[in-house]
Amino acid sequence: MNVLESETSMISPMQTDPHLAPRTPRVSRTVFWIAVLSGALAFGCAPAGETPAASTTQSLPLDLSGLEVVDLSHSYGGQTLYWPTDTQGFRHDELAFGPTDGGYFYSAYSFCTAEHGGTHLDAPIHFFEGGLTMEEIPFDSLLAPAVVIDVTSQSAGNADYLLQVDDIEDWETQHGTIPTGSAILLRTGWSRKWPDARQYLGDDTPGDASNLHFPSYGEEAARLLVYDRGAKLLGVDTASIDYGPSEDFIVHQVAAAAGVPGLENLTALERLPETGAWLIALPMKIESGSGGPARAVALLPRS
């Protein structure tokens, strides 16, 4: 898919969303998003009884007051966790800090980071030659209804837990079939261990990734989500969409071959409902990049 095509892509009606009835004409993602956020397309904000003046320059209505924004990203800094083979960590070097000759304050820094550390996106090119690079990833992978699958209890007793097809079937028994176009967020509870590398990764030996232990997606579950459910993104609150002991990174391979990005090292997934939230995950737009830092947030109805 080329970039122009992707940026104007349409979404298919969501099976569980009342805003989109089956006969709804094709609606652009932007318009649909605005409709969801505002609750209704109520133009203008004049007091009751007054007719708002017609204006061709009026902004589209966007009311976030009924929504809660949950930050799903860890901060970048000296404690940010990277894959053990990335030993440089996050560098943030001061270029200036203090008063200037001009009498005003000025601060600036440079930063240096591997693509795959902290809360970051994996582009399909990461594990699939010819796959999309960072700047080519379509918005319907980055801005999508979130489906949260919880395996916290299974993972608590087994650090190498793999999401099973049975877990997905259990989820669907409760919530219905996962809608096409969803962003899947796998909740393991592992973000509580951040930034303790030994706890979070299973091993804190610099340069050695051969003894890692943390839960993630199983291969068959990933195939079901990507191919049968049309998932647009696989996210997780551990370091990888493959579990710690993986040697072939098969879930990365499956997702990348299908053009589905990964979103790793998420946090605060315990604050999300299993359905009803929207994910916005906007990564740094790195030309030809295989991944990069992402600010991920969820929007959900304020309780």
Least Cβ distance, residue 43 to Zn ion (angstroms): 42
Least Cβ distance, residue 130 to Zn ion (angstroms): 18
The single residue among 116, 229, 232, 252 that binds Zn ion, judged by CB under 5 A, is 116
Q: Choose the stretch contacting Zn ion; rule: CB under 5 A; options: 23-31, 105-113, 141-149, 285-293.
A: 285-293
Q: Choose the stretch contacting Zn ion; rule: CB under 5 A; options: 24-32, 202-210, 275-283, 290-298.
A: 290-298
Least Cβ distance, residue 264 to Zn ion (angstroms): 5
DSSP 124: G
Collapse the DSSP code of 190 into the 3-class scheme (helix H, G, I; strand E, B; otherwise coil) and give the result: helix
Q: Which of 299, 239, 283, 213 is nearest to 83 (CA)?
A: 239
Q: Choose the stretch contacting Zn ion; rule: CB under 5 A; options: 2-10, 122-130, 200-208, 215-223.
A: 122-130
Which residue's CB atom is positioned nearest to Zn ion?
116
Q: Does 29 bind Zn ion (CB under 5 A)?
A: no
Q: Which residues make Cβ contacts (< 8 Å) with residue 255, sequence separation at least 6?
A: 122, 124, 127, 222, 226, 234, 241, 261, 262
Phi-psi group of 94: left, alpha or beta (phi > 0 → left; psi -120 to 50 → alpha; rest → beta): beta
Considering the complex, state which of residue 33 and residue 128 has its C-beta at the smaller distance from Zn ion. Answer: 128
Q: Does 122 bind Zn ion (CB under 5 A)?
A: yes
Do 216 and 167 form a contact (C-beta atoms < 8 A)?
no
Least Cβ distance, residue 235 to Zn ion (angstroms): 11
The single residue among 291, 293, 294, 296 that binds Zn ion, judged by CB under 5 A, is 291
Residue 57: other Cβ atoms inside 10 A: 4
Least Cβ distance, residue 108 to Zn ion (angstroms): 28
Q: Choose the stretch contacting Zn ion; rule: CB under 5 A; options: 30-38, 113-121, 163-171, 268-276.
A: 113-121
* C-alpha span between 26 and 45 (Å, rounded): 27
* C-alpha span between 126 and 184 (Å, rounded): 19
* 268: its two tokens: 């605060």
Least Cβ distance, residue 116 to Zn ion (angstroms): 3
* C-alpha span between 274 and 148 (Å, rounded): 4
Considering the complex, state which of residue 36 and residue 250 has its C-beta at the smaller distance from Zn ion. Answer: 250
Task: Summarize as ranges the residues that interact with Zn ion (CB under 5 A).
Answer: 116, 122, 291
